[in-house]
């Protein structure tokens, strides 16, 4: 005899589906961890940078307080608090903070491009003797004799498969020349400020 109660449990199977429309615990944990990491990134930045990030004042204050705590356990607890405060932010606020942090990483890309330019210049010096004349014209303070010796040694290192000691030294000389050329503008401004103070 068939069971008359079978299949009639008093609820529809789609009633449970509504319950699972919200994010899973794992998803929520991933989001919380991501926000905590974002807070930790802000804590690692200089205070002046953090003060310029568009965010609610109480979140900024929690981050600035965490930066001052030296005690390991106290810092850990404050970091958790920062994570909790980060979770109060709206999605748009979080997106704006992420965009700001990404913009800070741009200078490092510029530095990488500058290093690649120095590497290309070094390779040109090794391949073309006329490149040294161009370099001398751009940087009159260049020790041409030292650079000739380094170029000759670097070429020998390449042909004899030796460690690239001179090759690396050429890069360092180019880097010093570039940074020395960038400094005069800064040093010209500083004496004027000192004169004003006197």
Q: Convert the pLDDT of each residue in 171-190 to its tens digit.
A: 999 989 888 877 655 444 44
Q: Do domains 23-99 and 108-182 have the same CATH topology?
A: yes
CATH superfamily of the domain spanning 23-99: PSPTO4464-like domains (1.10.60.30)
CB–CB of 53/60 below 8 Å? yes
pLDDT tens profile 47-75: 888 888 888 999 899 989 988 988 889 98
pTM of this prediction exceeds 0.95:
no
Does domain 108-182 fall under CATH 1.10.60.30? My reply is: yes
What confidence tier does 21 reach under pLDDT thresholds 50, 70, 90? low
CA distance 138 to 132: 10
């Amino acid at each position: 005899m068939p069971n008359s109660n079978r299949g009639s449990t008093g609820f529809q199977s789609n009633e449970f589906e509504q319950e699972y429309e919200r994010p899973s615990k794992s998803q929520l944990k991933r989001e919380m961890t991501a926000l905590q990491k974002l807070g930790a990134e802000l804590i690692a930045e200089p205070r002046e940078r953090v003060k310029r990030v568009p965010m609610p004042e109480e979140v900024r204050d929690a981050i600035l307080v965490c930066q001052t705590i030296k005690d390991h356990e106290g810092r850990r607890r404050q970091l958790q608090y920062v994570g909790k405060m980060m979770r109060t932010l709206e999605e748009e606020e979080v997106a704006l903070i992420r965009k700001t942090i990404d913009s800070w990483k741009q200078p490092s890309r510029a530095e990488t491009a500058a290093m690649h330019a120095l590497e290309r210049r070094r390779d040109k010096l090794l391949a073309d003797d006329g490149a040294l004349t161009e370099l001398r014209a751009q940087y009159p303070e260049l020790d041409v004799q030292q650079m000739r010796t380094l170029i000759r040694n670097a070429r020998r290192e390449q042909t004899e498969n030796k460690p690239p000691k001179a090759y690396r030294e050429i890069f360092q000389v180019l880097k010093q020349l570039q940074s020395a050329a960038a400094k005069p503008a800064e040093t010209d401004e500083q004496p004027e400020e000192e004169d004003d103070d006197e």
